[in-house]
Amino acid sequence: MPIPTENVGSLPRPTYLQTALTDWDAGKVTREDVIKLQDQAAEDSVKRMEQTGSPLVTDGEQRISSFATYPIIDTLGGTGLAEGLAADGQYFAIFDDGHHRQLPRLLKGPFKYKTYASENFEKSQPYATGPMKQAVIAPSMMYLLYPLNGKIEGYPKEKFVEDLVIECERDIRQCFEAGAKRVSIDFTEGRLAAKRDPRNPWTSANLLQTFVDLNNRVLDRFTPEQRTNIGVHTCPGGDCDSVHSHEVDYSELLPFMFQMNAGYFLIQLASEKDKEKVYKEIGNNIRKDANGVKQLAFVGVVNPLDPRVETPEEICEAIVNASNFIAKDQLGATDDCGFSPFSIDHKPKHGSPDFARDIAFKKIANRVKGVQMASEKLGM
């Protein structure tokens, strides 16, 4: 069996779509106008990704505000905020270039998703000729909607967590029911939880084990057969070609992360300076039996924040090197991150989101070729 490979989820939104989203927030265009352009961008994403030879494709998350906020808000500018939320929540992350991304704040219960990932999957599936995957947000990210130290009158945190687990399970289950072959859970807050950034209080609240336990409450609602196709993605962020937690050593995250009973993990690695150190950490912590599932590690071999396109030969070499530390039957390959997890992302190192979009498809195509080369070299 060849080495498995898949992308994380997102692609840069075309300039025309980003402009339309900004105009929607300003009241210059209607929701119907935006939906037409989202459909156009989603169809283009699916068809161009299929042309790369990728065994699984996505719609590039062209219809959502961001990987983290799609269940609760339509745009990053605040349009379509779900009932029971205010826009002035805590920062999710402060990035190295100085910009930040902010979450809404929960005002009252019960907590319910406004939009499920399956709704957008069902709209894009007719564009595909082969199998598709879908990314969803982790319950640990949604956990940050509740005040860090405060309480909500009449809605204790324990009840919120119960509702959150139900909603996250439903989000995943409906994707499979809609026809998704794989579902990956975005867990970029994992590495950030060990950053201890004084500007962002939740990162100093020792929440990593809480996050892992919470995510397992959702994962353990699925059978081992189902969890084989449920993954977890980790990275140090990837927005506006900047990161939020690259300085956090993987040794602070991986022993916790592999406690999650997921079938596979998509792990940023192409942009790491000491890759072999991380390969060793993965090899030492990945489990052969995670509550009935053998875990796989999809190592990052493509850097979405760098406009340089990795060659198939470079990608092949990285995978072969990783196989010296990670068992071949537990090894896969991926991109470090989604190519644009947030809908408004001008990709400054690339020059424009349209150029970044073209680069993304070239990178994916070369990843597919590099994986084929590595599979042959490794006799798989």
| Helix, strand, coil share of the chain (percent; to 5) | 40, 15, 45
Side-chain-side CA neighbours of residue 355 (13 Å): 12
CB atoms within 10 A of CB 94: 20
Cα angle 144, 335, 237; round to 5: 30
Q: In what order do the strands lie in the sheet with 133-137?
A: 133-137, 182-186, 230-234, 264-267, 296-302, 331-335
Per-residue exposure over 294-317, b if at least 16 CB sit within 10 Å of its own CB, e if not: bbbbbbbbbbbbbbebbebeebbb
Measured CA to CA, the distance from residue 53 to residue 183 in angstroms comes to 19
> CA-to-CA distance for 132 and 47, rounded, in angstroms?
12
CB atoms within 10 A of CB 373: 18
Q: Which residue's structure tokens are 């900004």?
A: 22
Strand pairing report for 100-102 and 105-106: unpaired
Residue 161 bridge partners (DSSP): none
Predicted confidence at residue 67, as pLDDT, reads: 97
From start to end of 140-235, where are the E strands?
A: 182-186, 230-234
* CA pair distance 90, 149, nearest whole angstrom: 11
Strand partners, 64: none
Angstrom distance (rounded) from CA 191 to CA 203: 9
d(CA 134, CA 174): 11
| H or E stretch covering 135 | strand 133-137
Q: Look up residue 132 and give its DSSP letter.
A: B
Q: Tokens 């409906």 identify what position?
A: 174
pLDDT tens across the length of the chain (380 residues) = 799 999 999 999 999 999 999 999 999 999 999 999 999 999 999 999 999 999 999 999 999 999 999 999 999 999 999 999 999 999 999 999 999 999 999 999 999 999 999 999 999 999 999 999 999 999 999 999 999 999 999 999 999 999 999 999 999 999 999 999 999 999 999 999 999 999 999 999 999 999 999 999 999 999 999 999 999 999 999 999 999 999 999 999 999 999 999 999 999 999 999 999 999 999 999 999 999 999 999 999 999 999 999 999 999 999 999 999 999 999 999 999 999 999 999 999 999 999 999 999 999 999 999 999 999 999 99
The answer to whether residues 12 and 356 touch, using CB atoms and an 8 Å cutoff, is yes
Give the Cα separation of 226 and 126 in Å (integer). Answer: 24
pLDDT value for 336: 97
- What residues have CB less than 8 Å from 376, skipping those under 6 apart? none
For residues 152 and 120, is the Cβ–Cβ distance under 8 A? Answer: no
β-strand pairing of 296-302 with 264-267: parallel
DSSP helix/strand/coil, 290: coil
pTM value is 0.97
Integer Rg of the chain from CA: 19
Which of 377, 334, 104, 350 has its CA nearest to residue 231? 334
Residues in a beta bridge with 184: 135, 231
The amino acid sitting at 323 is S
Q: What is d(CA 306, CA 5) in angstroms, rounded to the nearest whole number? A: 20
For residues 36 and 42, what is the distance between their CA atoms, to the nearest angstrom?
A: 10
Relative to beta strand 331-335, strand 105-106 is: unpaired
